[in-house]
Amino acid sequence: MQRLSDARVIIFGVGGVGSWCAESLVRTGVGNIVLVDSDRVCVTNVNRQLQATCRTVGAVKVDALRDRLLEIHPHAMVQAQQKIYADTTADDFDLDGFDVVVDAIDSVSNKILLLHRASQSRASVYSSLGAACKVDPTRIRVADFMQVKGCPLGAKLRKQMRRTNMLPVKPVQAVYSDEVLVNAGGAPACGSAQCLCPQGKAGPGEAALVHHEWCSQKAVINGSLAHITAIFGFTLAGLVVQELVARLKT
């Protein structure tokens, strides 16, 4: 338990996957966690994100999650950073200062950057691939990032990383699903053409309802379900705990 308490873990992205990963780690005894996410809780997050409730809509995601984690483990060191991981901010993070880096980022370009930079650090690296558009929990798998099969996001990431010479320089364990749903026409059955967040000018007491960061600018919004994103997050946490415990034996 002391090894878990002393371990330092940084989680990038605390949405549907990262939030569940963070809580599982804290409940298991990990005592030093940094949460990184630039977004605020949107009403459309309530279906799958741990800290998203009607009460927290509009709150900074990392702050809301930190508050919840400290209610579970008041003596934990939980740091909330409302920041995006990107070219302009990557140097703000000393990844060598952590035992484990968990990638739960949605943005493809930022995910590539994080995986590349994290794989060059001393930290072990774990990544969540595509959890959206999945419904079958029995299709969730774990594999080395370079060996993932049946996940379109994994294939897209590797293709772009090869083109830009940014493949991971050491093994990265990835959680993914090989499930692909199709509609009657044979096309992937996922995605909405528009943002579903509340729009327009907020009335008295409604300012929190119009806070959203990126979804209104996306061409396609992919849906996801709590039982899938939570299993992704719990699986990541399980991998992290297994590694930290295994280090005691070496």
Show me where the domains of the chain are located: 2-179+224-249
Q: What is the DSSP letter of 81?
A: E
**Amino acid at position 107, single letter:** S
Burial-class residue 151 by CB neighbours within 10 Å (0-12, 13-18, 19+): buried
The pLDDT assigned to 246 comes to 87
What's the confidence (pLDDT) of residue 193? Answer: 46
CATH C-level class of 2-179+224-249? alpha beta
pLDDT recorded at residue 181:
74
Euclidean distance between CA atoms 97 and 172, whole angstroms: 18
Cα angle, residue 107 at apex, residues 123 and 68 outer, rounded to 5°: 65
Residue 181: exposure state from Cβ atoms within 10 A (0-12, 13-18, ≥19): exposed
Instruction: Give the distance, in angstroms, between the CA of residue 80 and the centroid of all CA atoms in the same chain.
Output: 14
Q: Would you write out the chain's pLDDT as a tens digit for each of its 250 residues?
A: 778 889 999 999 999 999 999 999 999 999 999 999 999 999 888 889 899 999 999 999 999 999 999 999 999 999 999 999 999 999 999 999 999 999 999 999 999 999 999 999 999 999 999 898 899 999 999 999 999 999 999 999 999 999 999 999 999 999 999 998 765 555 555 655 455 555 544 444 444 444 455 454 555 556 788 999 999 999 999 999 999 988 866 6
DSSP state of 40: B
Q: What gap in Å lies between CA 215 and CA 207, rounded to an integer?
A: 17
Q: Are strands 32-36 and 100-103 parallel, antiparallel or unpaired?
A: unpaired
